[in-house]
Amino acid sequence: MRKKITVVGAGNVGATCAQELARRDYADVVLVDIIPSFPQGKALDINQAGAVLGYEPAMTGSNGYEETAGSDVVVVTAGRPRSPGMSRDDLVATNEAIVSAVTKEAVRHSPDSIIVVVSNPLDAMCHVAKATSRFRKHRVVGMAGILDTARFATFISQELDVSVKDVTAVVLGGHGDQMVPVVSATNVGGVPLPELMPKARIRKLVERTKFGGGELVGLLGTSAWYAPGAAAAQMVDSICLDEKRILPCTAYLEGEYGIDGLYMGVPVKLGTGGVEEIVKLRLTVDEKKMLRASAAAVRDVVSVLGRS
């Protein structure tokens, strides 16, 4: 029996995620947006691409949520994107209202779903989705670490002129400027990164990763969408296909890594039950310190919720 997936938000990220999922050809996908005819047009276009790429036309566009009923996974990409000069924190008030509203409608029609949050500021929006849905913590998870890790891995492969397929990296913490690229857990073909390049070059790549989203906003004039959409689709794959991948995702912590009552990016085992396990990674003293600083920054953003 085919799975059913809802993607809320037919903008760049949502449409990219929906197309990636359509190409997998294991699920019926409903693309939802408030703009009249917009998600219907995107769905029709993606369906027609199936005749070229070899997947079945199983995409539906909708301006409501009736057609989303019974979804296994709901991906929330709705919200205002970043523009030049805007931090993720600036988005809190606007996107809190949007994410709360779409989550309420989505879970009303799909009460047994898993929610994957993509909207920014990501960590705070996970809190909004969890509070609105009243789902248990394992059923609300955020997409951030996969994207940030992909950026780190890409920079490493370009710097060393090696295949990105051989780069194993991980980025933890909040989805912001204080994220933590974990150098101690990064290797290329099994060779630790510090053995392949000097510390000064590694520091430059770490800093570029931390501000990777801002770099793209500066180039594009808005937030990125290809890599975020692909990252969200990878999470949906692991949930719907019960792959139990170990992926860096934004999960609700209750004491893990010394952090309590906060959504943070950590390695998790992702399967049909959502976050099935939070994986403990051994960090250096400096990495632990940076993770605590990242947690403090996330708490500052979360503390703004509900004030608007």
Query: Over 80: is that where the pLDDT of 82 sits?
Result: no
Confidence label for 81 from pLDDT (cuts 50, 70 and 90): confident
Query: Over 70: is that where the pLDDT of 5 sits?
Result: yes
Query: Of these residues, 109, 127, 138, 175, which one is catalytic?
Result: 175
Taking the whole predicted model, whether its pTM rises above 0.75 is answered as: yes
Closest listed residue to residue 305, CA positions, set 128, 136, 52: 128
Residue 84: its pLDDT value, please?
Answer: 65
Query: Over 60: is that where the pLDDT of 276 sits?
Result: yes
Residue 304: its pLDDT value, please?
Answer: 86
Distance of alpha carbon 255 from alpha carbon 295, whole angstroms:
12
Give 39-65 pLDDT, tens digit per residue. 999 999 999 999 999 999 999 999 999
Active site residue 138: no
Confidence label for 306 from pLDDT (cuts 50, 70 and 90): confident
Three-state SS for 81? coil
Distance of alpha carbon 164 from alpha carbon 239, whole angstroms:
24
Query: Over 70: is that where the pLDDT of 31 sits?
Result: yes
Mean pLDDT of 203-208: 97
Asked whether the beta carbons of 177 and 254 are under 8 A apart, the reply is no
Mean pLDDT of 185-189: 98
Give 212-222 pLDDT, tens digit per residue. 999 999 999 98
Asked whether the beta carbons of 182 and 172 are under 8 A apart, the reply is yes
> Which domains, from first to last, does the chain contain?
3-142 (3.40.50.720), 145-302 (3.90.110.10)
Residue 73: its pLDDT value, please?
Answer: 98
Query: Over 70: is that where the pLDDT of 79 sits?
Result: yes
Query: Over 80: is that where the pLDDT of 96 sits?
Result: yes
Mean pLDDT of 2-20: 97
- Least confident range from 30-39, 83-92, 170-179, 262-271: namely 83-92
Q: Which residue has the tokens 């359509």?
A: 22
Distance of alpha carbon 95 from alpha carbon 106, whole angstroms:
16
Closest listed residue to residue 124, CA positions, set 307, 275, 270: 307
Query: Over 70: is that where the pLDDT of 83 sits?
Result: no
Neighbouring residues of 13: CB distance < 8 A, sequence distance ≥ 6 = 77, 81, 118, 223, 225, 228, 229, 232
Mean pLDDT for the chain overall: 95
Confidence label for 274 from pLDDT (cuts 50, 70 and 90): very high
What DSSP element (H or E) covers 28? Answer: strand 27-32
Give 130-165 pLDDT, tens digit per residue. 999 999 999 999 999 999 999 999 999 999 999 999
Residue 1: its pLDDT value, please?
Answer: 86
DSSP label at 80? P
Distance of alpha carbon 81 from alpha carbon 292, whole angstroms:
27
Asked whether the beta carbons of 247 and 238 are under 8 A apart, the reply is yes
Residue 87: its pLDDT value, please?
Answer: 60
Confidence label for 88 from pLDDT (cuts 50, 70 and 90): low
- Angle (nearest 5°) at CA 298 between 282 and 178: 60
Residue 177: its pLDDT value, please?
Answer: 87
